Amino acid sequence: MTGVNGTLEALPPKLLTLGGDPDTVMAEYLDVIGRTISNHPRSLQKRIGPSEVGQACARRLGYKLLGHAERDQRPNWKATIGTATHSWLEDAFQAENARWLRTGGVERWVTETRVTVGATKTLGKITGSCDLYDRVTGTVLDHKVVGPAQLKHYRADGPSEQYHVQAHLYGRGLHLLGLPVETVGICFLPRNGELRDAFLWHEPWEEQIALQGLDRLEGIAAACNMLDDQALAMLPTADVWCINCPFYKAGSTDPAQGCPGHDMPKAADPAPLNFISNNK
């Protein structure tokens, strides 16, 4: 990046194409971003984490548990904005901790804590990283960076079941670390709005909600273990943006090759497996 003296120097002439086509620079620029997104640990994660336990579509979980390859998708830029915002927030709350230390001798906020939220017989420990914990109030917080339509929807109807279960699982993770947990919350932050549009959903922590989510996951995992790909047709589906699902395959008649989407029953479809419900 810099020359031998630590100063910024022009590249050697053999590496230069000064005046090169800006569109080529743009293509390379986007390629760097796309490859970085694709290689981010979150994109490569193979294990089920707390954010997926409450996934409403059991079949989608089944595909992941069975190790099915995800179809090629465009780099998820919106999720990357969310990831970058998480890093910024971690820095912000760490800086606030430094102020607490200076003024009161303690740190208030616990950021990005590795937690084990529980275990299932088939999958073993389920671990993840809890965004934020407030030691003063015993509040566990999750950041979600969302678009305007989602923000409106969550404000009106509360979080999805997937987010709901995730919040209580993180509550359990902190509880298992020996910390007092009173409240779990999700801070919905606008991806394209002002901070004043942010919305906090919260409710008292209930361990039972976390345990029900883990029970349901174990049911799905055990079915996949026992039946392999044959379990897929029996796993209940849900309307969760199938078009963005990494296992979606339009018109598929063989679940082992891909899922045609929710609400596409066939006369010969087997009855869905009935797991412990995690619906509110």
How near is the Cβ of 245 to ligand SF4 at its closest, in Å? 3
For the segment 224-253, give every residue that binds ligand SF4 (CB under 6 A). Answer: 237, 240, 242, 245, 247-248
Binding residue count for ligand SF4, defined by CB under 6 A = 12
**What is the Cα–Cα distance from 120 to 122, expressed in whole angstroms?**
6
Is the CB of 45 or the CB of 192 nearer to ligand SF4?
45
Cα gap 182→195, rounded to integer Å: 26
CA distances to 68, 109, 124, 277 from 113, rounded to whole Å, are 30, 10, 19, 29
Residues 203-222 that bind ligand SF4 (CB under 6 A): none
Choose the stretch contacting ligand SF4; rule: CB under 6 A; options: 8-16, 111-119, 122-130, 256-264. 256-264
Q: Which letter does DSSP use for residue 72 in this model?
A: P
Residue 238 beta carbon to ligand SF4: minimum distance, rounded to whole angstroms:
6
Which of 235, 162, 123, 145 lies closest to 197 in space, CA to CA? 145
Tell me which residues in 54-83 interact with ligand SF4 (CB under 6 A).
Answer: 57, 59-60
Cβ-proximal residues to 227 (8 Å cutoff; 6+ apart), any chain: 234
Residue 61: CB partners within 8 Å, gap ≥ 6? 48, 52, 55, 217, 220, 235
* Token couple for 251: 């018109």
Closer by beta carbon to ligand SF4, 64 or else 144: 64
Residue (of 102, 110, 112) closest to 42 by Cα position? 112
* 31 membership: H or E segment, kind and range: helix 22-38
Q: Which is nearer to ligand SF4, 65 or 214 (CB)?
A: 65
Q: Is 213 or 261 the residue whose CB approaches ligand SF4 more closely?
A: 261
**Closest separation in Å from C-beta 162 to ligand SF4:** 11
Write down the least CB distance from residue 59 to ligand SF4, Å: 4
**Nearest approach, Cβ of 218 to ligand SF4 (angstroms)?**
19
* Minimum distance, C-beta of residue 240 to ligand SF4, in the bound complex (Å): 5
Q: Under DSSP, is residue 184 helix (H, G, I), strand (E, B) or coil?
A: strand
| Stretch of 111-119, 170-178, 223-231, 255-263 contacting ligand SF4, by CB under 6 A | 255-263
**Of 240 and 256, which has the nearer Cβ to ligand SF4?**
240
112: region left, alpha or beta (phi > 0 left; psi from -120 to 50 alpha): left
Between 59 and 86, name the residue whose CB sits nearer to ligand SF4: 59
CB of 189 to ligand SF4, least distance (A): 25
Query: In terms of CB distance, is 18 or 271 closer to ligand SF4?
Result: 271
- Written as six digits, the tokens of 141 are 């917080």
Element (H, E) at 140: strand 139-146
Binding site for ligand SF4 (CB under 6 A): 57, 59-60, 237, 240, 242, 245, 247-248, 259, 261-262
